[in-house]
Amino acid sequence: QPAIVWFRDDLRLADHPALHEAVASGRPLICLYVLDDKTPALHPAGAALRWWLHGALADLRAQLQSRGGTLLTLAGSAEDLIPKFARNMDAASVYWHHRLHERERAQDDRIRQALEQQGCEVRTHWGTVLLDPDLVSTKQGGFYKVCGSFWKALQTHAVPEPLGIPDMSSFQDVPESVLQDVRLNEAELCPQAPDWASGFRTTWEPGEAEGQEHLEDFLKDAVAEYPRGRDRVAEEGTSRLSPYLASGAVSPRQVWAALQKHGAHTDGPRIFLSELGWREFARYTLYHLPQLPFENLSPKFSGMHWRKNAADLKAWQRGQTGVPIVDAGMRQLWQTGWMHNRARMIVGSFLTKHLLIDWKEGEAWFRETLVDADFANNAMNWQWVAGTGIEATPFFRIFNPTRQAEKFDPDGDYIRQWVPELRRLSGKALFEPWAAKEADLRQAGVVLGRTYPRPIVDLKDGRDRALQAFRAL
């Protein structure tokens, strides 16, 4: 009787406690992935994430094939497919890693019950977080609502050492009849016509070894400079590990252990680890506050009069707002499936404050377009930017996009890269073309309203409107 390992957002072989235990059972293995668009516990995977999945699944399959096995990919409702597949294969046990949201956990419970009823054992582990969230609680037994206190408390526990790749020697063949009608058509994960993913392909290579390489390169080249480099939007000052962490090609425990080895006490590694702490805190918050992706955590905002303006939203999505740093960020996202964290904060503030559009619109767009789309990180950060979260930047702190650009893209390289129609502008004119002298614009070949949009909102008016809406709450 085989053991089934159900891969989800943990697409790797190393540090995979579920796989480890399945291998240790001595039973022949079946490795399975299910793309569930029918009964997703939260949302179906967005387009950019699907592109990433295509590469990540191929990588995992290749790794398993080199060991004599394979990865089966199925499409359909996991609640139906997993028990049926296990029954057809007369499986002894199914192994997986816990998910965090209450809807995901309820779904996993239903699948567990169905499996157990048919005599199949279910074994589960924590594989996508540093620690079981129930281990980190306040003295009163509640959960932390502030990241700093949570992170301090977490570090009083021992984070388990990452596991290696288990020695897999025995795999179970699966007859074609069991896979009929349920095989995932992986080619459909990639865009057909138009092919919008060319920028993705030149930027990213999904996969476990690539993820490890990103981590090693970052430790070698950038971590010491991280405290300064992480805010420079034009530089490669951050690890770009996010899509590898989101798909599970790299585990947070591997990152933690690598940083400890590197020497976590100096500023660079310490601050970098605290970002991993934000990731962990987002998951912890999703676990304890399931409304995180759906509702303002601060109830005061339930009466907020967000604007519904399809034209402004579209201009923001397309990077056509007329505010260069905002457009640069949104175009980086559109073309590569990723955006620098500082730029994410700037475009998020612009959407929710200058345009006064609900953060949920931004969350949904990011979910569709990010290769690192991650329910917990995305929702927590949108609520943070909008000021609607539990530990959020106050609503009245409104980023001035020009000041942000001057500070974090001082030479304008980021804007020039992503908004090439402005590349011949320099100095302040690059950051605020609407305030530039006609002669400077002409010389740079910029015609506002024709080669580049006029701003869709006056920055001062937008700011005043946001503050007024906030005061009215």
Q: Report the interface residues with ligand FAD, using CB under 6 A.
A: 230, 238-242, 245-246, 275-276, 278-279, 282, 341, 344-345, 348, 366, 370, 372-374, 377-378, 381-382, 385
How far apart are CB 276 and ligand FAD at their closest, in Å?
A: 5
Q: Which is nearer to ligand FAD, 6 or 382 (CB)?
A: 382
How far apart are CB 90 and ligand FAD at their closest, in Å?
A: 39
CB atoms within 10 A of CB 307: 13
- In sequence order, the 6+-apart residues with CB closer than 8 A to the CB of 92 are 1, 2, 3, 25, 27, 120, 121
Q: Residue 351 carries which DSSP code?
A: I
Q: Which is nearer to ligand FAD, 346 or 436 (CB)?
A: 346
DSSP 219-253: HHHTGGGHHHHTT-TTS--S---HHHHHHTSS-HH
* Residues carrying an active site annotation: 275, 278, 306, 341, 359, 382
CA distance 143 to 8: 26
Q: Which is nearer to ligand FAD, 2 or 127 (CB)?
A: 127
CA distance 129 to 214: 19
Asked if 93 contacts 123 with a C-beta cutoff of 8 angstroms, the reply is yes
CA distance 34 to 289: 26
Distances (CA, A) of 345 to 83, 125, 279, 331, 384: 43, 34, 16, 15, 9
DSSP 83-112: HHHHHHTT-SEEEEE---SHHHHHHHHHHH
How far apart are CB 376 and ligand FAD at their closest, in Å?
A: 8
- In sequence order, the 6+-apart residues with CB closer than 8 A to the CB of 370 are 46, 48, 49, 333, 337, 338, 339, 378
Q: Which is nearer to ligand FAD, 200 or 382 (CB)?
A: 382
Half-sphere exposure of 285 (CA within 13 A, CB side): 29
Q: Is the dihedral of CA 375, 376, 382, 383 positive or negative?
A: positive
CA distance 227 to 308: 38
The single-letter code of the amino acid at 117 is Q
Q: Which is nearer to ligand FAD, 81 or 376 (CB)?
A: 376
Asked if 341 contacts 377 with a C-beta cutoff of 8 angstroms, the reply is no
Q: Which is nearer to ligand FAD, 76 or 243 (CB)?
A: 243
Q: Which is nearer to ligand FAD, 357 or 385 (CB)?
A: 385
Burial status of residue 149 (CB atoms within 10 A of its CB: 0-12, 13-18, 19 or more): middle
CA distance 165 to 21: 12
- In sequence order, the 6+-apart residues with CB closer than 8 A to the CB of 2 are 27, 28, 29, 30, 89, 90, 91, 92, 172
How far apart are CB 366 and ligand FAD at their closest, in Å?
A: 5
Q: Nearest 5°: CA angle at 200, between 69 and 194? A: 100
How far apart are CB 192 and ligand FAD at their closest, in Å?
A: 25
Q: Which is nearer to ligand FAD, 366 or 470 (CB)?
A: 366
Q: Which is nearer to ligand FAD, 85 or 151 (CB)?
A: 151
Helical packing angle, 267-288 and 375-386, nearest 10°:
100
Query: What is the layout of strands, in order, in the sheet containing 121-125?
Result: 71-75, 29-35, 3-7, 93-97, 121-125
CA distance 339 to 337: 7
